[in-house]
Structure 1
Amino acid sequence: MQAVGITTQQEVFIVSKERKFRINEILILEDEALHFPRGEVIETLSYNRFIPMGLDKSLVDHQVIQTLENIGYNVNADEINLAKLRLYEEASHPIRTGCAVRLPRFEEVRDLLVKSTPEEAMLLGEIRGTESLSSSITSDLLDQVVLMEQGSLRSQQGVPFLFDIRTMQQYPHVGVFGGSGSGKSFGLRVMLEELMKLRIPTIVFDPHFEMDFSQTAAGMEERNPGYTNRFVKVQVGQEVGIQFTDLSTRDLTGLLTAAGGGLSESMVNVVQMVHKKRDSYTSFSDRINNLVQALEEGKQGLEKQLRNDHLTPTEVQRIRDLQKLLNQYSTLPLSSVKGIDWRLKRLEAVGLFQQDIRSIITGLEQGKLVVVQGSTWVLQVFATYVIGALYSRRRAFKDARMNGEEGEFFPPFVIVTDEAHNFAPKAIESPTKSILKEIAQEGRKYGAFLFLATQRPTLLDETITAQLNTKFVFRTVRGTDIATLREETDLTPEEGKRLPYLRSGDTFISSAVFGRTIFIRIRCAHTTSPHLANPFDELQVVANEKNEKIIQALRSQLPLFDTDLLQAVAQINQSFGLNWDIARLKSELNRLDQEGFIKKHQTPFAVRYDIP
């Protein structure tokens, strides 16, 4: 292998007749004057006698071809392997043309690939293009991961990728981007397993109900350390909720905004005037509901009701209370009060005010991963409250320490969410986005960090995207998303062209820690999602179970004549809890006949169904 063509301080072409180059592999240029610079293969190409030189302009030009001929390559007969090598560090002058190129030993490139140890870092996968280093990798990095290739498991062949979470103190927050089927959710699962391994307190907002870590993946029985005691799974409205009495007027305004879109100024005014400190849900909702009635009746309507001589003392007192309420809040628009009333009832309907967040706080204090599940809009509402509450606890502790006081300890923690563009949408203000933006900009100082995953980085708030110092970029097809990622990362034009064609589980990592883009394959997860089963397999299983149930119901009835169907359907419905009529039974009998489970005979007197 040697350098050919015109070289620069950043890039050089290399050629070989014996060896095919691998994309992303590391090579060393034996240019002593530049202290043997290192580089990464960013583009490869092979020519042979069946492909005339010069037809493809992507990698070679006239100068490269001329150089090949001058140093003895027969461009019309030999198979020639070419590669473009990008240097890791800019050279002080161009590389010497013709200098030899060789594969490195692991100790020569360890500083480029490994920044921590497997025990202290997140072990996420294998660095692509490092297979040639397998013979010289040190023992502490051998057999660390298992990967899935072409549907089967394989052992580690290259250098494992270690993400040192301690560096987030300097370079905070992580973004995970990729289209449907790219491996984004799978990669997020692996990251959460590693956070559990390191006992990092983490709260996960799971709108897809898939972040369960109790089931071991096939083939991972020996490597699964056991996550059952390291995570807690709760659902909004059942195990967790919001303690209404703890809400400030500002908190309540944020919740109501998230519950039904933005609040008008008059709606905000309603909350600020009607809500009182330490209000319970019952007291506040009753006050709002009574105010709606008072505004609907009006001053004259209430006075007319008082003139009724048949009212009980209780009814009289209730009307006087409505009059008092009307006098106090007569300036509030009825439509705005109704809007607040509707949002309150919507939140109550999902059980949001029936629980508190003590189980979340306890889980984080124990160093566990807390999975919060619910529909997307419910999670948006709940996240507005719980993230603010947790962040306030952490800030209060850190501020107390800064002032020399003994505050109540609350641990640093990580916030993780899928479909992050729903929580922090671009160009749309929302309470959830406000708190996430605050953490994105200031959370590093207090020990609060973000892991945000989304299929649509273009729809994620730009301020937050800019604060994600490490980005995992899986397969992305949409041009606008690729353009956004190119702007927010150091992906080269060549890497950008590869994004639509990446295999599921392959990802580019643009990290400020490494100072460059790294291409890796995510390791096989130790656990599996409860939704991993193929839905078409599920359909077949259900169909088989249905056939077995019907045949079992009919077995005691066969042979069966169509004149006996009324009696047969009554017995089948009673025995198996069905609700069939004769038409449904005949339809099922005809289907089973077509599929060969029973046999239909046409006799001169009636149709007979029998065992085939």
Structure 2
Amino acid sequence: MQVVGITTQHEVHIASKSHKFRMNEMLVIEDKELNEPKGEVVETLSYNRYIPMGMDKGLVDRNVLETLEAIGYDIGQDDIHLAKVRLFDEAQKPIQTGVRVRHPAFSEIEHLLVSTSKEKGMVLGEIKSTDFVAESLPAQLHDILHMQEHGLVRAQNGVPFIFDIRAMQQYPHIGVFGGSGSGKSFGLRVMLEELMKLKIPSLVFDPHFEMNFTGKTEADRGDVNYASRYEVVQIGRDVGVDFSALSTRDVERLLGAAGHLTESMINVIQTIHKRKDSYQTFSDRIANLIDALDMGKQRIEGMLHDGGMTKDEINRYSEFKRLLDQFGSLPPSSVKGIQWRANRLHQSGLFQQNIRAIEHGIHNGKLVVIQGAVWLLQVFASYVIGTLYFKRRAYKDAKLQQQQSEFFPPFVVVTDEAHNFAPKGYEAPAKSVLKEIAQEGRKYGTFLIFATQRPTLLDETITAQLNSKFVFRTVRGTDIQTIKEETDLTAEEGKRLPYLQSGDVFVSSAIIGRTVAVRIRLAHSTSPHTMNPFDELEQMNNAGNEELVAALEDFLPLAEMHVMQKLDELNKQSGKSWDVSEWKQSLEQLCEDGLLTKQKTPFATLYDRT
């Protein structure tokens, strides 16, 4: 391998007759004067006489051809493999043309590949095209992960990618971007496994009900007991909002998430809500006010003056009069709008629990998975993230002021479909607190891991604060443009984004200082959504057919004419409620599927076992 063509301080061209270059391959250029600079392949090309092509532009220009001929390559006969190599560090002057190039030993590039140990960092995958240093890897980096490629599991044969999560104190927050089927959710699962391994308290919002870690893959060696390091809670069943702890501003945010609030509705909340209100007292006040507004002050006063009412009725109408005196100027339509929104949240179970289970899990260093409908997660996220963040902030502020305060641990907020929680261009319930964490959370030990298929739809302030970005296959042009603006991906890497294999990712991180091509390791756990839906359909159909054949066992052979006579018995045995035509259709289908045989006789059509 040799340097050919015109060189610069940033990049060179390498040629070889025997070695086919791979993307992201690392090379050492033996220019002694420049202390043997190192670089990475960013573009490759192979040429031979059987493939005519224009050689006057792109990777191969006239200068490269002239150099190849000068050093002994036969352009017309030889297979020539070429690569454009980008240097990791800018050289003081251009590289010497003609110098030899070789693969490095691990010790020469260790500082470029590994920044922390497997015990302190997140072992996320294997750095691509690093198998050439496998033999020189130290023992502690050998055999620490499994990979899956083309449906097959293989052992590690390259350098592991270990993300230095401790460096997030300086370069906070992670973005995970990728289209459907790119491996984004799989990569997020691997990150969560590593958070559990390191016992880092984490809050995970799971709109797809898939963050379950009980299923095991062959990569799991039992080193980490995941079952004891995570908890799954559902909104309304296990956790909820303590209404009495809400401020008026919190109530506005929550009700606003249930439906858009007009200025008039906001005024209703600010007027009616009282500090320490329970949901019952707040909803009763609104319901009584609506009844009072519907009746009108004149009618209420008339009924109080007429007499003849029970003590309870007098108390009720007196309460109506008091509410009208205090809130009678509020528009009835706005009050009813607040009642509808509050009822919607209450019916979802949001106000029937509290967040003690979440706080307990965070204190114990667990991964707490919160599940629920997307709209409900948005509402709940604004409350729970705000509550936990301000507890952590209060502890840190008190410590700085040398005051006593109850310890609250640092934690990570993780969410898929992040553009639903912090959208660009309009407000969402949790957006303000997430923006604050994005900008200020580093000081207090609160960090974000945001995954989304549509980075263009994510709030720009938050996107700019994601110092590490994991970019999986992305096809949409606007998203690719956003990624290019927010990362240091080169033009060549940007062109590769639509064609990345599922599980391949570009990691652009201020922690590393450059973009690294990585393949995510095989997760230790499986998603509950891994079964192909068409396999699921076939499985259920087969199971249904087998049950039906078992139910027919006592009736076979069965003549077509006897279906009517035995209809009640057939339905009772099978648990069906079919009529004669439905049974006949099913019998015909079972014959087509080869589970029954059909025989026509002069007297009847018989269905029997195969």
TM more than 0.5: yes
Q: Which secondary structure does the structure 1 equivalent of 2:566 belong to?
A: helix
TM-score when normalising by structure 1: 0.97
> Could you tell me how far apart the structure 2 residues matched to 1:455 and 1:160 are?
26
Kept in 1: contact 2:56–2:62 (CA 8 A): no
User: What residue identity is the alignment partner of 1:210?
Assistant: E
Aligned to 1:86: 86
Aligned to 1:433: 431
Identity score, percent = 59
User: What residue identity is the alignment partner of 2:528?
Assistant: P
| 1:179-198 alignment, distance < 5 Å | 179-198=179-198
Of residues 308-317 and 530-539 in structure 1, the stretch that sits farther from structure 2 once superposed is 308-317
> Could you tell me how far apart the structure 2 residues matched to 1:293 and 1:370 are?
43
Kept in 1: contact 2:116–2:164 (CA 8 A): yes
Aligned to 1:231: 230
Give the gaps of 5 or more residues in structure 1.
none
Q: Which secondary structure does the structure 2 equivalent of 1:526 belong to?
A: coil
> Could you tell me how far apart the structure 2 residues matched to 1:235 and 1:56 are?
62
Distance apart, 1:14 and its partner CA? 0.7
Of residues 56-65 and 432-441 in structure 1, the stretch that sits farther from structure 2 once superposed is 56-65
TM-score when normalising by structure 2: 0.97
User: What residue identity is the alignment partner of 2:343?
Assistant: K
Distance apart, 1:561 and its partner CA? 2.6
Aligned to 2:393: 395
Of residues 301-310 and 34-43 in structure 1, the stretch that sits farther from structure 2 once superposed is 301-310
Kept in 2: contact 1:177–1:455 (CA 8 A): yes
Q: Which secondary structure does the structure 1 equivalent of 2:340 belong to?
A: helix
Kept in 2: contact 1:223–1:526 (CA 8 A): no
Kept in 1: contact 2:55–2:62 (CA 8 A): no
Aligned to 2:417: 419
The one-character-per-residue Cα deviations of 1:105-152 (angstroms, maximum 9, x if unpaired) are 111111111100111100001001211111211111111111001111
Alignment partner of 1:282 out of 258, 280, 283: 280
Aligned to 2:3: 3
> Could you tell me how far apart the structure 2 residues matched to 1:418 and 1:316 are?
54
The one-character-per-residue Cα deviations of 1:315-335 (angstroms, maximum 9, x if unpaired) are 233122112111211121112
Aligned to 2:579: 581
| 1:134-283 alignment, distance < 5 Å | 134-217=134-217, 219-222=218-221, 225-261=224-260, 263-283=261-281
> Could you tell me how far apart the structure 2 residues matched to 1:305 and 1:25 are?
89
Q: Which secondary structure does the structure 1 equivalent of 2:19 belong to?
A: coil
Distance apart, 1:308 and its partner CA? 6.6
Kept in 2: contact 1:470–1:510 (CA 8 A): yes
Distance apart, 1:309 and its partner CA? 6.3
Kept in 2: contact 1:224–1:526 (CA 8 A): no
> Could you tell me how far apart the structure 2 residues matched to 1:405 and 1:395 are?
13
Kept in 2: contact 1:15–1:81 (CA 8 A): yes
Q: Which secondary structure does the structure 2 equivalent of 1:126 belong to?
A: strand
Q: Which secondary structure does the structure 2 equivalent of 1:19 belong to?
A: coil
> Could you tell me how far apart the structure 2 residues matched to 1:342 and 1:108 are?
66
> Could you tell me how far apart the structure 2 residues matched to 1:488 and 1:298 are?
59
> Could you tell me how far apart the structure 1 residues matched to 2:535 and 2:422 are?
36
Of residues 583-592 and 469-478 in structure 1, the stretch that sits farther from structure 2 once superposed is 583-592
Kept in 2: contact 1:53–1:75 (CA 8 A): no
Alignment partner of 2:529 out of 519, 528, 531: 531
Distance apart, 1:417 and its partner CA? 0.2
Kept in 2: contact 1:216–1:224 (CA 8 A): no
User: What residue identity is the alignment partner of 1:143?
Assistant: D
Alignment partner of 1:490 out of 488, 491, 507: 488
The one-character-per-residue Cα deviations of 1:241-273 (angstroms, maximum 9, x if unpaired) are 111111111111111112223x22211111111
Aligned to 2:320: 322
Distance apart, 1:582 and its partner CA? 2.0
> Could you tell me how far apart the structure 2 residues matched to 1:333 and 1:35 are?
79
> Could you tell me how far apart the structure 2 residues matched to 1:434 and 1:206 are?
20
Q: Which secondary structure does the structure 2 equivalent of 1:548 belong to?
A: helix
> Could you tell me how far apart the structure 1 residues matched to 2:158 and 2:395 are?
43
Alignment partner of 2:500 out of 485, 499, 502: 502
Of residues 97-106 and 222-231 in structure 1, the stretch that sits farther from structure 2 once superposed is 222-231
Distance apart, 1:346 and its partner CA? 0.6
> Could you tell me how far apart the structure 2 residues matched to 1:335 and 1:570 are?
56
Query: 1:147 and 1:113, CA in 2 relative to 1: closer, same or farther beyond 3 A?
Result: same
1:24 aligns with 2:2: no
User: What residue identity is the alignment partner of 2:28?
Assistant: I
> Could you tell me how far apart the structure 1 residues matched to 2:104 and 2:352 are?
62
> Could you tell me how far apart the structure 2 residues matched to 1:422 and 1:477 are?
20
Kept in 1: contact 2:206–2:370 (CA 8 A): yes
Q: CA RMSD in A?
A: 1.5
User: What residue identity is the alignment partner of 2:7?
Assistant: T
The one-character-per-residue Cα deviations of 1:340-377 (angstroms, maximum 9, x if unpaired) are 11111111111111111111001110011001111111
Q: Which secondary structure does the structure 2 equivalent of 1:495 belong to?
A: helix
User: What residue identity is the alignment partner of 1:2?
Assistant: Q
User: What residue identity is the alignment partner of 2:58?
Assistant: S
Aligned to 1:96: 96
> Could you tell me how far apart the structure 2 residues matched to 1:221 and 1:129 are?
25
The one-character-per-residue Cα deviations of 1:360-402 (angstroms, maximum 9, x if unpaired) are 0011100110011111111111101000000011011001101
The one-character-per-residue Cα deviations of 1:43-92 (angstroms, maximum 9, x if unpaired) are 01100111235357331111111111122111110000000000111111
Number of equivalenced pairs: 610
Distance apart, 1:297 and its partner CA? 2.3
Query: 1:56 and 1:418, CA in 2 relative to 1: closer, same or farther beyond 3 A?
Result: farther
Query: 1:155 and 1:585, CA in 2 relative to 1: closer, same or farther beyond 3 A?
Result: same
